[in-house]
A and B are shown apart, each in its own frame.
Chain A
């Protein structure tokens, strides 16, 4: 097997005719750079271009450390001559592949963890004449094992609701296929989580998961962002850009808010799905891409098709497998489960000793319709953890928007599973809907005011804590879960000193 360098790099002696090196290298799921004996780049495959953000024409002839720019180039280059940088006598012979985890900084200014492997290339006489460097992108610093992957997928969705079980079952089945997936559901239901779960459980989990928000960028930027551009394609295009499709090569491209994709780009996306190749802006040749498309939207795409806002043929292309994530109000029993789940997580993250909700607060939260779904619920729990003054977060710790939805009370056990307290006594069950009362307010018979800003709420908490501790600041700070210096700082902020 020899390398021909007459017109285009090729390999001969393997098949009946020379094989174009480009077709061989571009088929690999890793970035591959071929270096000459002087450690200058002579060839870079398309995955390498996407990973490093540099095109082959620019990279060719440059020293490898200027192209790859890995941390290993500076610390322990396996190709460095033993005598130092000036010793350029003969190429270093790397007989065994040297593999190390390191990082690179690509042209989009992102630090990417990679596993870099380098090996010598030899001629027919066994003489080292160059090198091959292989770059494999690492996900989260390590390749997850099967068990960890499954756990991560399961961890994403916290649910015991029967309406979620078909979705979770379908998710595992779909992950094993390579079909395009369309995820629908209201905002905050976890469409992104589902898309990432499908990717992690799929055979493409070793590849990148690239997310594009189709609704976040203007049309002309979105085209460049998706398909990339060549240098000089338009004013300001000072260098080549690979585009998200090429960055996702070998992995999954997640198009979120696909219903917001402008019509002209819908045609282009349709072409990509049909031909599996893209045309970067200003490019004269198509670039083949191997990506799985997962799209998501909260819009009714069928209605958009009828209104002429979404192409029917694109809908058919994307709608190979459709997964619908039910809203939280339809997931029976999940509200309570998610409240406990996020309470544990938030309390641990913020190091607050909050263990649950009072029965009154829990009743309010379970009756709330959650139009923002799980995202809204998580934010409410975070708010409650911050403002809870004891082990249990009471109604006064909840945002005003939740309290405003208060319904007539019903029986609920508290979130610690303890016997119900006075809040469930008959006298309290007769309580009419109206402005919320905290535990302290109920004891004193005073109404708890609604707070429209954090500042007001914080000031009220401080005053309440000081009142309860007879003005002793250390005790008040303990009660609030703050240090004495934090309380002192906040007293100054609120002009209470």
Chain B
């Protein structure tokens, strides 16, 4: 069983780790989510979120932009950090359970309009 923490902003991955006020914590066993809950922080703080990740003993943390200082700290604490992720929560969880979630992933969101040059701006 692996435990994952996703920094949230609304229904999507928070673009900034240090400005995140909500986290989704889920336990995944054999590709299925066996437990999930949302944690709301009293205030946005990278330190609080790091503390939460360590005390919850998560294996993987998913977020958008994160400063190197916190990335290195979590890495030192043996937490896999998948950062620079863009996408809605459900798509990110699905990609993680499928084993396809990587740093810098941009996952499809509802209503993503195409670019003038035809690029949809979405990639796996």
- Chain A residues at the B interface, C-beta cutoff of 8 Å: 5, 7-9, 36, 38, 40-43, 57-62, 65-66, 69, 71, 73-74, 85, 104-111, 238-239
Docked complex Cα distance between A437 and B86 (Å): 66
Query: Nearest A residue to B64 by beta-carbon distance?
Result: A69
Query: Nearest B residue to A40 by beta-carbon distance?
Result: B113
* A58: contacting residue among B16, B17, B65, B123, CB under 8 A: B123
B64: chain A residues at CB < 8 Å are 66, 69
* A69: contacting residue among B65, B115, B121, CB under 8 A: B65
Docked complex Cα distance between A8 and B115 (Å): 10
Query: Nearest A residue to B18 by beta-carbon distance?
Result: A105
Say yes or no for B33: interface residue by CB 8 A criterion.
no
Q: Given A60-B121, A74-B16, A111-B67, are A36 and B113 also a contact pair (CB < 8 Å)?
A: yes
B119 near A106: Cβ-Cβ < 8 Å: no
Say yes or no for B42: interface residue by CB 8 A criterion.
no
* A9: contacting residue among B12, B15, B44, B116, CB under 8 A: B116
Given contacts A42-B115, A74-B16, A111-B67, 18 further A-B contacts (CB under 8 A): A7-B117, A8-B117, A36-B113, A40-B113, A58-B121, A59-B121, A61-B122, A62-B86, A73-B15, A73-B16, A74-B44, A105-B16, A108-B68, A109-B83, A110-B68, A238-B103, A238-B104, A239-B103
Say yes or no for B71: interface residue by CB 8 A criterion.
yes
Docked complex Cα distance between A8 and B119 (Å): 11
A238: chain B residues at CB < 8 Å are 102-104
Say yes or no for B28: interface residue by CB 8 A criterion.
no
- Chain B residues at the A interface, C-beta cutoff of 8 Å: 9-10, 12, 15-19, 44, 64-68, 71, 83-84, 86, 102-104, 106, 111-117, 119-123
Docked complex Cα distance between A107 and B113 (Å): 23
A109: chain B residues at CB < 8 Å are 65-68, 71, 83
* A74: contacting residue among B19, B68, B111, B119, CB under 8 A: B19
A85: chain B residues at CB < 8 Å are 10
A66 near B15: Cβ-Cβ < 8 Å: yes
* B16: contacting residue among A7, A9, A69, CB under 8 A: A69
Docked complex Cα distance between A65 and B12 (Å): 12
How many pairs, one residue from A and one from B, have CB atoms within 8 Å of each other in the complex?
84
Docked complex Cα distance between A106 and B66 (Å): 8
A36: chain B residues at CB < 8 Å are 113
A57 near B119: Cβ-Cβ < 8 Å: yes
Q: Given A74-B44, A105-B67, A109-B83, are A60 and B117 also a contact pair (CB < 8 Å)?
A: yes
A5: chain B residues at CB < 8 Å are 116
A61 near B15: Cβ-Cβ < 8 Å: no
Quote the shortest CB–CB distance from A135 to chain B (angstroms).
Answer: 14
A73: chain B residues at CB < 8 Å are 15-16
Query: Nearest A residue to B112 by beta-carbon distance?
Result: A61
Quote the shortest CB–CB distance from B2 to chain A (angstroms).
Answer: 21
Query: Nearest B residue to A107 by beta-carbon distance?
Result: B84
Give the top 8 A-B pairs by smallest Cβ distance, nearest first.
Answer: A61-B121, A105-B65, A60-B115, A239-B104, A109-B68, A5-B116, A69-B15, A60-B121
B103: chain A residues at CB < 8 Å are 238-239
* A38: contacting residue among B18, B104, B113, CB under 8 A: B113
Docked complex Cα distance between A98 and B68 (Å): 30
Docked complex Cα distance between A268 and B40 (Å): 51
B117 near A105: Cβ-Cβ < 8 Å: no
Quote the shortest CB–CB distance from B5 to chain A (angstroms).
Answer: 18
A105: chain B residues at CB < 8 Å are 16-18, 65-67
B15: chain A residues at CB < 8 Å are 65-66, 69, 73
A8: chain B residues at CB < 8 Å are 116-117
Query: Nearest B residue to A231 by beta-carbon distance?
Result: B104
Quote the shortest CB–CB distance from A346 to chain B (angstroms).
Answer: 26
Quote the shortest CB–CB distance from B114 to chain A (angstroms).
Answer: 6
Query: Nearest A residue to B69 by beta-carbon distance?
Result: A109
Query: Nearest B residue to A10 by beta-carbon distance?
Result: B116
Docked complex Cα distance between A58 and B106 (Å): 8
A110 near B67: Cβ-Cβ < 8 Å: yes
Docked complex Cα distance between A18 and B24 (Å): 49
Query: Nearest A residue to B21 by beta-carbon distance?
Result: A74
Docked complex Cα distance between A74 and B44 (Å): 10
A62 near B71: Cβ-Cβ < 8 Å: no
B116 near A42: Cβ-Cβ < 8 Å: yes
